[in-house]
Structure 1
Amino acid sequence: MPLLRHVAFALLLGALLVPAQASRACTSFRLKTTDGDVFYARTMEYAQDLGSKVAIIPKGTSFVGTLPDGTSKGLPFTAKYGFVGMNALGINNLSDGMNEKGLVVGGLLFPGYAGYEPYSPDTAGNTIAQFEMVNWLLSQCATVADVRRDIGKVRVCQGPTTLNGVTAGSLPLHFTVHDATGDSIVLEYMDGKVRIHDNPIGVLTNSPDFTWMLTFLSNTVNLSAVNVPALDLAGYVVRQTGQGSGMLGLPGDFTPPSRFVRMVALTQSALPVTGPDAGLALAMTIIGNVDIPKGAVREKDAAETMFDVTQWVAVADVARSRYYYHTDTDRNWHYVDVKQALAAAGSAIQTVPINVAPAYPDATATATPYK
């Protein structure tokens, strides 16, 4: 194997630590406008087609937690709040979403580090599977403070590895949580215990753990949005080749630590904006910097080559209660108005297909004479 391919493979293997069928390179961040509007953005990468749809889950919907043996005999709970977000594999256990109170939750892959609470039949009545965590948080909590207060009420255990007849693997997850004030935390289950991390920078990717990622930022303290000055070498002046020299060394690969640094650099250096339209545009612009085109990330085994691809991207506009999304085949942004959708749904879960043919408007007829 050529050296470049060998190094690239080693980096991907070390970052993902899971088979290609379960690989996912999710990225998320939260930002605020000058007037306090909160926006959240995330990507969903996966080699297997998830068949995601936007699920609209009304207040009053009943759930029962799934036990490790796959039976629905865990914690029964009823949604205090309605919520909207992305499902997968034909199951309305969301991987991402926002509720009617503006709480936003995302589940991101956490391979090699996730270790959920040990299961005991004595606590079955308080148990849910890790892939039900987004539903539980969105349905039960209105704020990050609620999450901190109530997280001890539920026992999160490793769920079954087959969902709706599809082998999904162990799905090791950690969770990013934001509320309408911009308060942010990360929930990580490690060594059988939950760890709650304040997240003032609002960014989360995958493995290693969040504390490690914060430490890793120390390697990039030289990065700056300000161009570096020319360097005088005893009469020979070395000048920048162009704009952006302050960000020389900003990692551009798709490993989780590199995506973490890239999102921190871009969210922190972007000029503050005012108003919901400007906030939305900024969130959409920044999240586009981690899109993975099909073929850029590959995993080979004896049977086939798997390709990670950004299947969908979501942006939550908390102030206007809108959940925006686009897919890898339709780059136009669509949105669901969360409160209107919940009101229209009544008591029935509804879904919105996202894999639709792209419609790019023809602007030819809008041409006018040059003046």
Structure 2
Amino acid sequence: MRKQFAKMLLASVAAFTLASASVEACTRVLYGTSDSDYIVGRTMDWDVDPRTNLWSFPRGMARDGGVGPGSIKWTSKYGSLIADFYDAATAEGINEAGLAANLLYLAEADYGDPKASKKPLLSVGGWTQYILDNYATVADAVKALQKEPFAIVAPDLPGGVRSASHLALADQSGDSAILEYLGGKLVIHHNRKYTVMTNSPPFDQQLALNTYWVSIGGVNFLPGTHRASDRFARAYWNLNATPKVADGRVAIASVFSIIRNISVPLGISAPQEPNIASTRWRSVTDIKNRLYYFEPTLNPSIFWVDLKNLKLEPGAKPAKLDLAGDPILSGEVADKFVPAEPFKFLSR
């Protein structure tokens, strides 16, 4: 066990050198209530403000992969509520069918050569949106994506930051999947027991590292740094130790308490370690009830969106909740979304 842990630890440390131009670290957890609701919590950690806004996108939108000739084309089957990233990517969201998706940083991500694949092209900025637009469940998404219907194009983010990410999916049945591109191939980990995801190393190594900490026991000792593998261990133990309740208000508060526990204080970053950065915002998604809670670090209170109050029917206009300037918001805010031209996916 200790030899395996040492090997995984060395791999984890080596991974921190892969993306020194960027500093990003996020955590995602999937909590099940005692009455079969499932709630996703996540932190968005980044070294600078990623200028996140919220959007509602209706069914029936004509879409394309966003990278010019050869881009994949589709029409959205499901309306969605999403949080963007630099107005160039869908960072996370939930669709009206109850599929939730969360995009997190992965330094080891390797999408391969899109030109060599001869497949339709999709910007990495549209990866999350494509899934929310097209699938109702994790199983549906996994079945379709196993065929690799597109090739990912991953232009740099603003400031020359390398695009590198993996994706977590969850639905109202509690099903879960982690999607990673490694060595140019899509790797899918599909099991409802995959309830925690952070950053480096890749997910299978992260599970191996966590096995060591499970053997130690969280009551005795938990690793305390902001590194991805340590956050994984703390999030995993806290998630499994937290009582599973039916009261929705308590359940939401429980998930917020878990992700606050593994948040990185504002102002802290470590440019030499790309998986440590300040938490910029937190979100909690109540899948069954289609409620999305959002907590910017600079906001003194939580606000939320009820999907049933959004205009998601065919023919409705995309709408934006502009968070520029850090407005002070609280309560349910669906009525504050304003029709707007959709952002364009990250392009070359």
Whole-Å separation in 2 of the counterparts to 1:75 and 1:98: 22
Sort the Cα spacing of 1:33 and 1:65 in 2 relative to 1 into closer, same or farther, 3 A: same
Q: State yes or no: 1:154 paired with 2:149.
A: yes
Whole-Å separation in 1 of the counterparts to 2:21 and 2:241: 35
1:294 counterpart (243, 247, 266): 266
Highest Rg: 1 or 2? 1
Aligned to 2:239: 267
Normalization by structure 2: what TM-score? 0.83
- Name structure 1 gaps, 5 residues minimum: 1-9, 225-245, 302-306, 362-371
Q: What SS is found at the alignment partner of 1:297? A: coil
Conserved 8 A contact 1:55-1:86? yes
Conserved 8 A contact 1:117-1:155? no
Sort the Cα spacing of 1:197 and 1:348 in 2 relative to 1 into closer, same or farther, 3 A: same
Conserved 8 A contact 2:60-2:314? no
- Name structure 2 gaps, 5 residues minimum: 1-9, 332-348
Whole-Å separation in 1 of the counterparts to 2:12 and 2:182: 22
Q: 331-340 or 34-43: which moved more?
A: 331-340
Whole-Å separation in 2 of the counterparts to 1:349 and 1:21: 34
Whole-Å separation in 2 of the counterparts to 1:357 and 1:347: 26
Aligned to 1:248: 220
Q: State yes or no: 1:326 paired with 2:295.
A: yes
Aligned to 1:103: 99
Cα deviation, 1:297-338, whole Å, max 9, x if unaligned, reads: 23279xxxxx93211111101121011101111141101112
Whole-Å separation in 1 of the counterparts to 2:319 and 2:62: 14
Normalization by structure 1: what TM-score? 0.78
Q: What SS is found at the alignment partner of 2:125? A: helix
Amino acid at match of 2:73: P
Aligned to 2:212: 219
Whole-Å separation in 1 of the counterparts to 2:76 and 2:109: 26
Conserved 8 A contact 1:21-1:48? no
Q: State yes or no: 1:134 paired with 2:128.
A: yes
Q: State yes or no: 1:205 paired with 2:198.
A: yes
Whole-Å separation in 1 of the counterparts to 2:330 and 2:304: 16
2:166 counterpart (171, 174, 178): 174
Sequence identity of aligned pairs in percent? Answer: 25
Sort the Cα spacing of 1:76 and 1:279 in 2 relative to 1 into closer, same or farther, 3 A: same
Specify which structure has the bigger relative contact order, considering alpha-carbon pairs within 8 angstroms and separated by 6 or more residues: 2
Whole-Å separation in 2 of the counterparts to 1:273 and 1:107: 27
Conserved 8 A contact 1:16-1:23? no
Sort the Cα spacing of 1:221 and 1:356 in 2 relative to 1 into closer, same or farther, 3 A: closer
Aligned to 1:190: 182
TM-fit CA distance, 1:349: 1.3
Cα deviation, 1:142-193, whole Å, max 9, x if unaligned, reads: 001111111125223232225xxx3353211111000110100101111111
